[in-house]
Structure 1
Amino acid sequence: MFGLGNVTYFTYFSEFNRPWKGAAYIEATIMTTLFVMSVIGNFFILGIMFKTRSSRTITNYFVCNLAIGDILFATAAPFVAYVRITGTWRLGDGMCHLLTYGMFVCAIAMIWTMAVISVDRYLCINKGMVNRIRTGHVVLICLCIWIVSACCFLPLALFFHLKDIEVGEEMATICSLLWPRGRIHYSAFFMAMLVLFAFFMPMTVITFNYYQIFRKFWSSKKAVGALCHIQTRSQRVAIARRNKDIKMVKTLILLVLVFVIMWLPLFVVLGMLHHDVSYRNNSLPSYVLTWTLIIAYINPCVNPFLYGFINLETCQNVLFCCSQYQNSSEDLLASNTNLNDRNDITRP
């Protein structure tokens, strides 16, 4: 945090005069590792989704949108890691406008995709609308989510600018959020929109839908318990289907909870940052933002495992096929080796 005259600038990803410069390399190593793990895990999930016909369901198409968001969000990690090491901003004016903006857009697109998934589950389980959404509708919904998210947070792309500051006896460049001056408190307005659009509204939709779903499950469980002694074959099939739906919904709820837990520290720090800059306290160090961002980068690493639980049977089949292919390849290699050995022995 730097204060110049009546204006306070937060350095965001840049940090100067650190007591131990090795901390920057630790941060960069962690972020780069999380980036690699996120990209590999989410591309694996996307590969399963597109290669196995049984996994091409409406819910899984939305899960693909989540995986794409994870990959795009994780792509920012190497750039942040580079700035942590260099201190001064060397990525150019274009990246200054796009880096933080892109991360926000990915986060909002993911939370609203989770909200749409909860609506899809509600329509399927509570209303019995099995053919409720078609593939074309899914593509259109996902595009709308990304476009609306990009438009709502366009001020971040417009008002992040490069600023030259004096650090000791040298000049350094930072990428900081510089709101226009005037009577309107743009920063307070943006934070209010962030809380409303990025947290309160989607979480309200998610909470309502999953609450209604569990009410449905609970009532059907009591009804099944009352008739457990006269179950027919169709009833047993319905019970198995219900249990499968319960497992999927529990995993989807866990997906939302993990997202909230890992992103909440970042949103809290952003609120603290708004207060710090507004009152010119200059007390919040850049590494606090960095470590909450690292926690958020863990989310794309964890999500592929949760996506795998949603499609556990498909993942098991893929892994089984891979193991069978590997075993057959080893057997073929072994048989060719034995054949070559026999030819060497019988050769005069």
Structure 2
Amino acid sequence: MVPYEETDLCFPQLLNSSCRKPIRPHFETMLIYILLSFISLLTAALNLLVIISISHFKQLHTPTNLLLLSLAVSDFFVGLLMFFQIVLIDGCWFLGDLMCTLYQYIAYITTSASIGTMVLISVDRYVAICHPLHFPTKVTQKRVQVCVCLCWMFSALFHSLLLKDILKQPGTYNSCIGECVIIIDHVAGLVDLFLSFIGPVTVIVVLYMRVFVVAVSQARAMRSHIAAFTLQRSRKVAAKKSELKAATTLGVVVVVFLICVCPYYCVALTGQDTMLNASSAYFVICLSYFNSCLNPLIYTFFYPWFRKSVRLIVTLQILKADSCKINIL
């Protein structure tokens, strides 16, 4: 039997217990390092701009924007967590069992909270488009705050129960030193799959199908009657157009989210993860992470207030007195 070369082991000094590094071309490794580092920094920076914008400017303190704030917070953490994914490029974990457990735990929470926020966004747009007269009374700042807090609390509590064994004893499932894995039993995995993917995605798709049908009918009605409206009704039309634009923007966010996340959960649902090679599995995971970088780019394209707030933040105008009262809309 030929012993491993030193470069093949995560910890060459621990010949019998160290994990073995996967063999990958140096150019490919460096390319992945650079690409993921760039995406990670961009994701964290862009979502930090969203967080500062919505938190600082009072005009942006609306129930819908509060949901965008919750989504930006989860996406910001995803950007930071990508640095840990970069550590695993060589197939070795050098930060210890405790950090491995915390990384996996926070990743589960942020992903679940992100999906929960997507459900809340769908409910928000459903009420705004399908029941516009009840929207100001049903979707209030206080209720949205409570829903967002419950979303994060439920995510933390559920995954604390799901990962209780690994939280009690980090590194339980590691087969060698330098590994960072978490194994969930079959029943718990199915429950997590339903609560974190199948259930939320079903709700999102059903609500947005309804929103799409109503939005199309409203758009046709506005086009056919807009010439006969008085000034007062024109204002109502402008308000309705604003709601439709918001529904379109958040619809794009939801669709992009599903495109990026579905491959990961589909692999988990079909149980084909063992048939994927390392590169394919890595691509599926990174695609789900990349969604967090796309959301602020969508806001930049669709929301003028975000572009304006970014200019004010970058030029340090927000440091001036009463800058929070600037007309941003």
TM range (shorter): 0.7 to 0.9
Cα RMSD, aligned residues only: 2.8
**Alignment of structure 1 residues 20-169 onto 2, 5 Å:** 20-85=25-90, 87-127=91-131, 128=133, 129-154=135-160, 155-156=162-163, 158-159=165-166, 161-162=171-172, 165=175
Aligned to 1:259: 257
Per-residue deviation at 1:257? 0.9
Q: Is the 8 A contact 1:266 1:296 kept in 2?
A: yes
- Output the CA distance in 1 between the equivalents of 2:125 and 2:204: 10
- Output the CA distance in 1 between the equivalents of 2:174 and 2:229: 75
- TM-score, with length taken from structure 2: 0.78
- Output the CA distance in 2 between the equivalents of 1:142 and 1:265: 26
Q: What SS does the aligned partner of 2:92 have?
A: coil
Aligned to 1:208: 206
- Output the CA distance in 2 between the equivalents of 1:149 and 1:47: 24
Residue 156 of structure 2 aligns to which amino acid in structure 1? Answer: A
Higher strand share goes to which structure?
Answer: 1
Residue 89 of structure 1 aligns to which amino acid in structure 2? Answer: W
Q: 1:322 to 1:268 in 2, by over 3 A?
A: closer
Q: What SS does the aligned partner of 2:179 have?
A: strand
- Output the CA distance in 2 between the equivalents of 1:318 and 1:16: 43
Per-residue deviation at 1:172? 4.1
Q: Is the 8 A contact 1:126 1:213 kept in 2?
A: yes
Residue 133 of structure 1 aligns to which amino acid in structure 2? Answer: V
Q: 1:40 to 1:193 in 2, by over 3 A?
A: same
Percentage identity across aligned positions?
22
Residue 151 of structure 1 aligns to which amino acid in structure 2? Answer: L
Q: Is the 8 A contact 1:105 1:146 kept in 2?
A: yes
Q: Is the 8 A contact 2:119 2:204 kept in 1?
A: yes
Q: Is the 8 A contact 1:54 1:314 kept in 2?
A: no
- TM-score, with length taken from structure 1: 0.74
- Output the CA distance in 1 between the equivalents of 2:143 and 2:297: 27
Per-residue deviation at 1:323? 6.9
Per-residue deviation at 1:190? 3.3
Q: 1:231 to 1:197 in 2, by over 3 A?
A: same
- Output the CA distance in 2 between the equivalents of 1:309 and 1:276: 35
Q: 1:275 to 1:295 in 2, by over 3 A?
A: closer
- Output the CA distance in 2 between the equivalents of 1:173 and 1:269: 25
Q: Is the 8 A contact 2:77 2:110 kept in 1?
A: yes
Q: Deviations over 1:98-123 (max 9, x none)?
A: 22232222112111111112212222
Q: 1:245 to 1:158 in 2, by over 3 A?
A: same
Per-residue deviation at 1:222? 4.4
Q: 1:15 to 1:150 in 2, by over 3 A?
A: farther
Aligned to 1:198: 196
Q: Specify every segment of 5 or more residues in structure 2 that has no aligned partner in the other structure, as ranges.
A: 1-18, 318-329
**Residue 303 in 1 paired to residue 295 in 2?**
yes
- Output the CA distance in 1 between the equivalents of 2:276 and 2:314: 50
Aligned to 1:233: 231
- Output the CA distance in 1 between the equivalents of 2:202 and 2:76: 26
Q: 1:297 to 1:126 in 2, by over 3 A?
A: same
Which has more radius of gyration? Answer: 1
Q: Specify every segment of 5 or more residues in structure 1 that has no aligned partner in the other structure, as ranges.
A: 1-13, 166-170, 180-185, 278-282, 326-348
Residue 30 of structure 1 aligns to which amino acid in structure 2? Answer: L
Shifted more, 130-139 versus 248-257: the winner is 130-139
Q: How many residues align?
A: 293
Aligned to 2:9: none
- Output the CA distance in 2 between the equivalents of 1:251 and 1:200: 23
Q: 1:195 to 1:126 in 2, by over 3 A?
A: same
Q: What SS does the aligned partner of 1:103 have?
A: helix
Q: Is the 8 A contact 1:73 1:106 kept in 2?
A: yes
Q: 1:22 to 1:148 in 2, by over 3 A?
A: same
Residue 48 of structure 1 aligns to which amino acid in structure 2? Answer: S
Residue 126 of structure 1 aligns to which amino acid in structure 2? Answer: C
